Amino acid sequence: MENLRELQEKLSQSEKEKQELLLRVKELSSIIEQSKLDSAKLAAIITSSDDAIISKTLNGVITSWNNSAERTFGYASHEMIGEPILKLIPEDRKQEEVHILSRLRKGERVEHFETKRVKKDGNLIDVSLTISPIKDSMGKIIGLSKIARDITERKQEEQRKNDFVAIVSHELKTPLTSITGYIQLMLLKLRKEGNEQHLDILGKAENQAKKMAAMIQDFLNLAKMEDGKIRMNYAAFDLKPLVEEIVADTQFKSPNHYICISIDDQINIRADRDKIGQVLINLLSNAIKYSPKGGNISITAKIKAQKVTIAVKDKGLGINIADQKRLCDRFYRVNNDLSKSVSGFGIGLYLVSEILRYHQSKIMVESKEGFGSNFSFSLPLQPDLDVAADMFDKR
């Protein structure tokens, strides 16, 4: 009797385990079906994508090649799978792959990397690359996924715009220089005669001419920057004398503002002195323009963790959060009632951001409408000049 009871209990337990096993099999089947569905969806997305989607090993050997990759580069999948990705890279850009692979092996993602690649017919195209590491279930990097977008048409359009801007700016600069020269001659004559009324009028005309000259120079710098014709000349220099030079010149032109300097002696950095000067001139000019009632402006520099952080702070109109996100976009201007009277084309901060990008830095802003703004950037005391040089070569 007792044995029969034990046997019944074992049969009951066995039935229970059987039901649990069936339930697990059912769940596993559902997971497999969902995985198949997800894989099918992913495959459909990859196949129909307008962007070239390519997978490769950590050694740069291509393992997958979608239809758009064939349209973009001219190679069929059977011609590229198993081939090195270097087949698509121009000879003068082979080193890019080394830098990209080194970053990806660290688990980093490379986004919107603009460069050139070579098609099957030998023609070069402009592409924007986004490259991500592929990891297994343990988090180990086992391959790389690349999305390449053909931006040749966009680049050509930008080049046409830049050429137009450069030509027009150059043509405007010559007569404006003559106008400024004539005004200055008239000012000299009027000063000798003591004609204060006409001095004031011509003085205002001279200021407007200088503003126009500065705007034209910004357009020329923009065209050169976009065309890759601006080069960085890195050298060691003391930051404080540069700041003092710029502040003295700015203060002379803007007597209604008091510019306070707080910079330690002997802050030696290695950068392009003229370009960093352009950054500071632009930030101080903006601080003055957006503080129409005058007041104090401060420029500070502090060293921390092998970097120097330079900040320009004003107590002017301030900038709302939405505008702050787009300040460095080309041709973007803050559009509100307070800033309507401020001149400019929205080029200055774009040039600032580009110059700082080549110095391995970026512009930061803290601001609130009605309470002023604080623009800052940090420069490494010992920059990686090879990285900066490579950035120029990629343009």
**244 in Cβ contact with 207 (< 8 Å):** no
Residue with tokens 């970053």: 103
Using pLDDT thresholds of 50, 70 and 90, give the confidence band for residue 389: very low
Query: How confident is the model over 173-201, as a mean pLDDT?
Result: 81
Domain 50-150 belongs in CATH node 3.50.50.60:
no
Most confident of 132-146, 152-166, 271-285: 271-285
pLDDT given at position 109: 81
Q: Would you say 263 and 311 are in contact if contact means Cβ atoms under 8 Å apart? A: no
Q: Name the packing angle between helices 385-393 and 94-105 (round to 10°).
A: 130
The count of other CB atoms within 10 Å of the CB of residue 185 is 10
CATH architecture of 156-226: Orthogonal Bundle (1.10)
pLDDT greater at residue 196 or residue 51: 51
Distances (CA, A) of 179 to 153, 184, 208, 232: 39, 9, 11, 32
Q: What pLDDT is stored for residue 391 in this prediction?
A: 46
Task: Please count the CA atoms within 13 angstroms of the CA of 189 that sit on its side-chain side.
Answer: 8
Indicate if the pLDDT at residue 130 is higher than 80. Answer: yes
Q: In percent, how much of the chain has pLDDT > 70?
A: 80
Give the residue-averaged pLDDT of 296-301.
92
- CATH 3.30.565.10 for the 235-393 domain, yes or no: yes
Which ranges of 135-238 does DSSP label H, i.e. alpha helix?
152-193, 196-226
Please state the domain extents for the chain.
1-48, 50-150, 156-226, 235-393
pLDDT level of residue 76 (50, 70, 90 thresholds): very high
Closest CA to 363 of 319, 297, 395: 319
Q: What is the mean pLDDT of residues 31-59?
A: 66
Instruction: Please report which helix (H) or strand (E) contains residue 242, including its range.
Output: helix 239-253
Give the number of other Cβ atoms within 10 Å of residue 352's Cβ: 24
Residue keyed to tokens 């680049």? 155
d(CA 395, CA 189): 49
Residue 364 structure tokens: 């930061």
Rounded to an integer, what distance in angstroms lies between the CA atom of residue 232 and that of residue 380? Answer: 15
Q: And the tokens for 339?
A: 């800033």
Give which of 268, 267, 271, 269 is closest to 234, Cα–Cα: 271
Q: Long-range contacts for 30-33 (Cβ within 8 Å, ≥24 apart)?
A: none
Alpha-carbon span 35 to 356, nearest angstrom:
46
- The helices-and-strands tally (H runs, E runs) of the chain is 11, 12
Q: pLDDT tens digits, residue range 27-36? A: 666 666 555 5
The whole-number pLDDT of residue 33 equals 59
For the chain, the farthest-separated pair of C-alpha atoms sits apart, in whole angstroms, at 134
State how far the Cα of 53 lies from the Cα of 129, in Å rounded to an integer.
Answer: 10
**How far is residue 135's CA from residue 142's CA, in Å, rounded to a whole number?**
6
Range with top average pLDDT, 115-119, 222-226, 263-267: 115-119
Residues 6+ apart with CB under 8 A from 44: none
Residue 337 has pLDDT above 80, yes or no: no
pTM: 0.53
Question: How does residue 368 score in pLDDT terms, banded at 50, 70 and 90?
Answer: confident
Structure tokens at 82: 């198993």
For residue 255, what pLDDT is reported?
A: 76
Question: What was the pLDDT predicted at 278?
Answer: 86
